[in-house]
Structure 1
Amino acid sequence: MSSSGIRGRVQKLITKYPTLRHIMVLLTGTAIAQIVVMGVSVITARLFTPEAFGQFAIFGSLTAIATTIASLRLDMTIMLPEDDDEARRIARVATYCNVVVTGLFTLAALVLRDLVIAQYGDPALASWLVMGGFTVFFVAQATMMQFWFNRKTDYRTISLNRVQQAIGAAGGQLGFGLVGLRTLPGLIFGTLIGQAFAFVNLRLRARDLFRPIPEGTASGRELVGRYKKMPLLNMPNALVDSVRINGITLLIGTVALGAVGQFNLAWRILQVPIGLINSAISQVFFQKLARVRPGEMLPLVRSTMIRSMLIAIVPFGLIYLVSPWMFILVFGQQWDMAGDFARALTPWLAMQLVTSPISTVFVVTDNQQWMLAFSIVFCAAPLSLLYFSPLALLDTVFWLGLLMAAMLAIMLGMSLLAARGYDRRRPEGTDEVDAGAEPTP
């Protein structure tokens, strides 16, 4: 078939299936962002030491936890109201929350400086952690605005924003490394450049979100009360999930910053196949799930699971086979442990690709309490294994990968049960779900 024939067939598919068009737009932006990050990482891995990346991993983990709760998950609620002015009001409340959490993070970084030194034995990390407040604000606000563009099905803007942030952060780190600032400040300032650049560009495009709200629109207090399940149930669930992911990095960092640098490189590189596929599918699936009616949920969830499983087999099979020597070949001899960590993490991250698109099922079906209970166990299990394991670090991470994969398989079963229960509801009962639903990997 000629190239023009292929393009014609693709165009027909995209025209017939709008969801596919949205996925392709997001996938393009995500692919460009990941390619940029991968290409720059090959160079920065030779400019910065594993110890410097270990320091930055601790910095990133602490800021990620704060970013998770910055808006009290009200940013996701922007998707729910029928009225755009109510969505704008929620965005205002989410912004106020972001500012408060940013201030609290900065204050905590100053007050708890000695505690950070005691845990990691690194005064430089403790001193530069105060810059994390900027990261929390930029990322939290950009995420909030992306939900507005998701509401408007403007996936092109979301896609462009991801590319801008990736190019800005990767280019900033590379630039500082090339001029000789090959320590933690170089990684921090390089990343902040990308985050600030993406935030400013998105803010300029989101003028409609910040235009004056007419009188008569529901107040922020009223809307928070209407969607109270978001801060009361969804936020704790997201916080527990963030503590699980970032707590693993923080615990490994107490062993050695070099070790957490190796682990973090493996983790970041393994996120590439997930990022290329999953973020695009998740964002579009999220918007589609918010509008699904009883009777349609289970087929949608089941087909998404099967599709994700088929997608995961080839890339993660190859990663398991080639990662131990590939990391040394690509990133240099100093990253000899990273490939072994990558192999150990493969089962977990393969299952993460499968479960992430359907993670919002519990919110849309008004079963946040299921996910909260699961998340607590899902958090406690890996952190307990890391803390109490008598095995060497690499062996412990191997068992960690298997444990997390098995638990995610349980989550798949829970998702199917939640979808089946939703489909059994009468159509007129769907209004009850909207009050507490949100239409995240």
Structure 2
Amino acid sequence: MAVSRAGILPATLTLLAGGLLAQLLPLLLGPWLTRLYLPEQFGHYTLFVAVAANFAVLACARYDFALPLARDETEARDLMALCVRVLLCVTLTSALVALAAALIVGASMFWLWLPVAVAIAGAGQWLTQWSTRAGRFTALSGSRVTQYGGAALAQVAGGLAQAGVAGLIIGPLLAGGLALAWLRQPSPLGGWGGLRTVSRSALRTIALKHRDFPLFNTPHAFAGALQDTLAVALLVVFTGEAAAGFWGLAIRYLKAPASLIGGAVSQALYPRLVHATPADARTIVRQIMSTLALTALPLVLLLLAFGPTLFASVFGEQWREAGTLARALAPYIGLHFVASPLGVVTLAWGAQAWALRLALVGQVMFLVALALGLHIGGTVGGAWAVSVSMTLYFGWFFWRLPAQCPRPLPIDREL
């Protein structure tokens, strides 16, 4: 069927409205949080989130992203049942890793919250894609408001109670658990109990049908999460935990627009691309890229001109170094803003193998540039090196992406 930008606009605006409200509290409370917690505590929290993200991308083996492609309710039910089983296995694995870290390695006890974080994140990803398939964009917006706004409020409460790193970690977990209530609805074909009765043969069939997701998209997503973990580890090794805290704050706030706008665009774009003709799909992707680039440009210029001053004024003078990092990372952040929602394009087009190969190259470039920059010029040198290397990487990605649209689209192919 024909695809126009108008077809995506209502869903995007609904998600964007929820996202704006979801980001409002964290943005308003951020300056308070930086006065309640030390940079070193933010460094610990940044590392915890990075490690949890590594498990979270494995949580459903990315089969959750196949839900919008399901042809009927039976296939959707089988995919959901598969997601639940994989999520339970990954959560158990993370619990064993956390217990070993606490008892054998002697790591901080807050790592015992790792399996809770993995379970909540995995369930959120699964139910988000399920709601996207059903077009439940109001529920998606409500979930985001509860998750992000609630996390900031809970972290403030933890800071006032002088809970330290635990306050930063537990707050988002409580909010994430509450956010799942927005996404819950009776499962197709028999309610939630129907998920337990799916046969092994049905699970095997559906797993093989959508095998590209664990084979290509899962390594892709895991490599991206691992990149963030290794980046934080490099910062701690080269410059200490406070530097990791500065980096974490800068990345958290600089990527907030990409999370807000990019998340809304991708959730509305994915199901639309699945049903688009090749010509319409290429057209709409080019239009989205152009619009996102024009939106990102003012942010980049603002950071380049006033980054350190802005961060010192808003978060306190002790966070000026985070603003210096923000200035150095500005080109990378602008390009990431454009690329962030385009991850679903390769899912819809069945180009996951190409995306995986390119992403691995980009992640190696990122880490090598960061390590060399840290060695030569410290934290700021590492940030500028990342911006230079990622400009080359994203430039190639944007140029080659439209050519990945297949004929016919994956939804029309037979197994």
2:162 maps to: 180
Distance (Å, rounded) in 2 between the aligned partners of 1:144 and 1:346 = 32
1:133 maps to: 115
Matched, 1:332 2:316: yes
Q: 1:53 aligns with which of 42, 65, 82?
A: 42
1:394 Cα shift?
A: 1.1
SS at match of 2:57: helix
Q: 1:198 aligns with which of 170, 179, 192?
A: 179
Counterpart contact for 1:173–1:190, Cα < 8 Å = yes
Distance (Å, rounded) in 2 between the aligned partners of 1:415 and 1:245 = 24
Distance (Å, rounded) in 1 between the aligned partners of 2:147 and 2:26 = 10
Deviations for 1:414-438, whole angstroms, at most 9, x for unmatched residues? Answer: 202213xx2xx358x8622x75xxx
2:269 maps to: 285
1:365 Cα shift?
A: 2.4
1:212 maps to: 194
1:143 Cα shift?
A: 1.2
| Greater alpha carbon shift after TM alignment, 384-393 vs 86-95 | 384-393
Matched, 1:247 2:236: no
Distance (Å, rounded) in 2 between the aligned partners of 1:154 and 1:247 = 36
Deviations for 1:262-288, whole angstroms, at most 9, x for unmatched residues? Answer: 011001111222233211111111121
Matched, 1:39 2:20: no
Matched, 1:228 2:214: no
| Greater alpha carbon shift after TM alignment, 100-109 vs 249-258 | 249-258
Distance (Å, rounded) in 2 between the aligned partners of 1:180 and 1:262 = 20
Matched, 1:76 2:62: no
1:413 maps to: 399
Counterpart contact for 1:85–1:217, Cα < 8 Å = no
1:362 maps to: 346
Which letter does structure 2 place at the counterpart of 1:317?
L
Distance (Å, rounded) in 2 between the aligned partners of 1:189 and 1:129 = 11
Could you say if the C-alpha distance between residues 238 and 33 of structure 1 is closer, same or farther in structure 2, counting changes exceeding 3 Å? same
Which letter does structure 1 place at the counterpart of 2:284?
L
1:190 Cα shift?
A: 1.4
Which letter does structure 2 place at the counterpart of 1:162?
R
Distance (Å, rounded) in 2 between the aligned partners of 1:275 and 1:306 = 18
1:216 Cα shift?
A: 9.6
Q: 2:336 aligns with which of 352, 361, 378?
A: 352
Counterpart contact for 1:243–1:379, Cα < 8 Å = no
1:396 maps to: 382
Distance (Å, rounded) in 2 between the aligned partners of 1:354 and 1:85 = 36
Distance (Å, rounded) in 2 between the aligned partners of 1:238 and 1:215 = 28
Matched, 1:105 2:105: no
Matched, 1:25 2:46: no
Matched, 1:142 2:124: yes
Which letter does structure 2 place at the counterpart of 1:26?
L
Q: 1:89 aligns with which of 78, 97, 101?
A: 78
Deviations for 1:333-390, whole angstroms, at most 9, x for unmatched residues? Answer: 1112100111111111111111222222223222222111111111111212233443
Structure 2 regions of 5+ residues with no counterpart? none
1:308 maps to: 292
Could you say if the C-alpha distance between residues 131 and 426 of structure 1 is closer, same or farther in structure 2, counting changes exceeding 3 Å? closer
Counterpart contact for 1:55–1:184, Cα < 8 Å = yes
SS at match of 2:278: coil
1:12 maps to: none
Could you say if the C-alpha distance between residues 144 and 382 of structure 1 is closer, same or farther in structure 2, counting changes exceeding 3 Å? same
Distance (Å, rounded) in 2 between the aligned partners of 1:188 and 1:358 = 29
Counterpart contact for 1:240–1:379, Cα < 8 Å = yes
Aligned residue runs from structure 1 range 417-436, under 5 A: 417-419=403-405, 422=406, 425=407, 431-432=412-413
1:217 Cα shift?
A: 11
| Greater alpha carbon shift after TM alignment, 287-296 vs 91-100 | 287-296
Distance (Å, rounded) in 2 between the aligned partners of 1:96 and 1:216 = 12
Counterpart contact for 2:274–2:411, Cα < 8 Å = no
SS at match of 1:69: coil
1:215 Cα shift?
A: 8.1
Distance (Å, rounded) in 2 between the aligned partners of 1:206 and 1:36 = 31
Counterpart contact for 1:26–1:159, Cα < 8 Å = yes
Which letter does structure 1 place at the counterpart of 2:276?
V
Counterpart contact for 2:325–2:379, Cα < 8 Å = no
Deviations for 1:125-172, whole angstroms, at most 9, x for unmatched residues? Answer: xx2112111011011101101111100111110010000011221111
Distance (Å, rounded) in 2 between the aligned partners of 1:115 and 1:349 = 38
TM-score if structure 1 supplies the norm length?
0.86
Distance (Å, rounded) in 2 between the aligned partners of 1:411 and 1:166 = 30
Aligned length, in residue pairs: 405
TM-score if structure 2 supplies the norm length?
0.92
Distance (Å, rounded) in 2 between the aligned partners of 1:292 and 1:206 = 29
Counterpart contact for 2:44–2:165, Cα < 8 Å = yes
Counterpart contact for 1:57–1:261, Cα < 8 Å = yes
Could you say if the C-alpha distance between residues 215 and 228 of structure 1 is closer, same or farther in structure 2, counting changes exceeding 3 Å? closer
Distance (Å, rounded) in 1 between the aligned partners of 2:105 and 2:43 = 14
Aligned residue runs from structure 1 range 109-120, under 5 A: 109-113=98-102
Structure 1 regions of 5+ residues with no counterpart? 1-15, 118-122, 436-441
1:4 maps to: none
Distance (Å, rounded) in 2 between the aligned partners of 1:201 and 1:158 = 7
% same residue: 25
Could you say if the C-alpha distance between residues 426 and 188 of structure 1 is closer, same or farther in structure 2, counting changes exceeding 3 Å? closer
What is the root-mean-square deviation of aligned Cα atoms in Å?
A: 2.2
SS at match of 1:17: helix
